[in-house]
């Protein structure tokens, strides 16, 4: 634990990204969320009725996040802590054990059926405890399907109404409005994907991030530069050679890489195959345009995917 506090001191300015590290607003519910995606949904449901702290700053890779001292303060003072789940927030264990928080950690993805990675434990394998760390092999990138965000929004509305019953009606009204926007987004995505010829609806990415998107909208993930759920994993020369063969065999047009991802390996593959590197937002919203909200995040990414694959 001593080492943990040394580490967090080294990252004192980069871990918290919400209202400019402001002090908590007296009288408001203190909500700590792990990602910008969850923060945006909470904002749509609650607006100014809550004080939101986002642990993972815009543009920050959730797989390599290190907490800052202000994160510990926010967690200690929180009324609610909202997490994605499915193994995304490995850092929460240290934050919780090092704080005096009495807040409950609530997984907003409750009710979503996780995609499982090949070769890992399945859900009915009881040899592994299922906790907020989740079972290894569950795909945490649920936000790439707006239908999953509908589940988030319902869960968050219920949680806020329980914590703040005086504003229950307002939260429900905001949920109804936001659900309409998410359903419109879903319809729009289907229309856009329809512009891609069927044989070209194949995705190559920097790591395996688009499983939920592919499943919902009729695409296939055929390969990844790092064939893993995290950019912190490693790849081998043999795996890269197999990816090059796959790209050439399928006549793929693009490799989709995260805007905050080191493109070196992907560039090597692109040089070998002649495909385009297309940046997408993967692990967070942007700080302002062009992907500063969940709705704009999805529209930006879908436009980029459709343009590259048409």
pLDDT tens digits along 230-282? 877 888 999 999 999 999 999 999 999 999 888 999 999 999 999 999 999 99
CATH code for the structural domain at 195-309? 3.40.50.1980
Of 136, 149, 7, 160, the residue nearest 80 (C-alpha)? 160
| Residue predicted with more confidence, 90 or 157 | 157
pLDDT at residue 25, as a whole number: 52
Beta pairing partners, 276: 254
Class of domain 2-188: alpha beta
Which pLDDT value is given to residue 97?
87
Residue whose C-alpha is closest to residue 293's, from 83, 44, 100 = 44
Helix segments in the chain, DSSP class H: 2-10, 36-46, 69-77, 92-97, 146-163, 168-193, 211-217, 237-250, 264-273, 294-309
Instruction: Give the model confidence (pLDDT) of 9-21 as tens digits.
Output: 333 333 333 443 4
> Which residues on adjacent β-strands are paired with residue 82?
33, 106
Query: Of the given ranges (1-15, 24-38, 159-173), which has the lowest mean pLDDT?
Result: 1-15
Same fold? 2-188, 195-309: yes
Are the CB atoms for 219 and 195 separated by under 8 Å?
Answer: no
Q: Could you give the percent of the chain with pLDDT greater than 90?
A: 72
Give the pLDDT of residue 122: 36
Contacts 24+ apart (CB under 8 A), 59-62: 59/259, 59/260, 59/284, 59/286, 59/287, 60/14, 60/15, 60/17, 60/260, 60/283, 60/284, 61/231, 61/258, 61/260, 61/261, 61/283, 62/34, 62/35, 62/88, 62/89, 62/283, 62/284
pLDDT of residue 26: 60
> Which two three-digit tokens encode residue 159?
């949680």
**What are the structure tokens assigned to 278, written together?**
């297309």
Mean pLDDT, range 160-178, rounded to an integer:
97
Task: Reply yes or no on whether the pLDDT at 47 is more than 70.
Answer: yes
- Residues 20-33: tens digit of each pLDDT: 344 455 679 999 99
pLDDT, averaged across the chain: 87
Quick one: CA dihedral 182, 142, 8, 33, positive or negative?
A: positive
Q: What is the pLDDT of residue 69?
A: 87
The H or E element containing residue 29 is: strand 29-33
Least confident range from 12-26, 58-72, 102-116, 282-296: namely: 12-26
Phi, psi of 209 (to 5 degrees): -105, -20
Mean pLDDT computed over 176-184: 98
Query: Does residue 233 contact residue 207 with C-beta atoms inside 8 Å?
Result: yes
Does 118 or 85 have the greater pLDDT score?
A: 85
- Locate the domains of the chain by residue range: 2-188, 195-309
Residue bearing tokens 């229950």: 168
């Amino acid at each position: 634990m001593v080492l943990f506090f040394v580490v967090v001191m080294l990252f004192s300015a980069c871990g918290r990204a919400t209202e400019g590290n402001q002090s908590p607003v007296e009288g408001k519910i203190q909500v700590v969320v792990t990602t910008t995606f969850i923060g945006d949904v909470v904002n749509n449901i609650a607006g100014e009725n809550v004080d939101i702290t986002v642990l993972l700053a815009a543009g920050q890779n959730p797989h390599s996040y290190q907490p800052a001292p202000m994160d510990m303060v926010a967690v200690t003072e929180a009324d609610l802590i909202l997490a994605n789940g499915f193994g995304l927030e490995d850092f929460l264990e240290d934050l919780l054990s090092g704080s005096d928080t009495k807040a409950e950690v609530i997984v907003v993805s409750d009710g979503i059926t996780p995609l499982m990675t090949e070769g890992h434990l399945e859900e009915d394998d009881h040899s592994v405890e299922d906790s907020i760390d989740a079972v290894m092999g569950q795909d945490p990138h649920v936000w790439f399907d707006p239908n999953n965000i509908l589940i988030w929004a319902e869960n968050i509305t219920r949680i806020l109404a329980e914590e703040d019953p005086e504003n229950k009606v307002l939260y429900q009204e905001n949920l109804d409005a936001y659900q309409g926007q998410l359903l419109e987004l879903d319809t729009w995505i289907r229309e856009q994907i329809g512009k891609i010829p069927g044989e070209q609806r194949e995705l190559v990415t920097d790591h395996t991030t688009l499983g939920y998107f592919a499943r919902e909208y009729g695409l296939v993930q055929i390969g990844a530069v790092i064939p893993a759920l995290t950019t912190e994993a490693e790849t081998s020369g043999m795996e890269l050679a197999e990816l090059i063969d796959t790209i050439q065999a399928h006549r793929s047009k693009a490799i989709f890489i995260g805007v905050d991802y080191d493109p070196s390996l992907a560039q090597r593959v692109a040089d070998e195959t002649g495909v385009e590197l297309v940046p997408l937002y993967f692990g967070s919203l942007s700080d302002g345009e062009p992907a500063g909200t969940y709705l704009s995040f999805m529209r930006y990414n879908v436009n980029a995917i459709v343009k590259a694959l048409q």
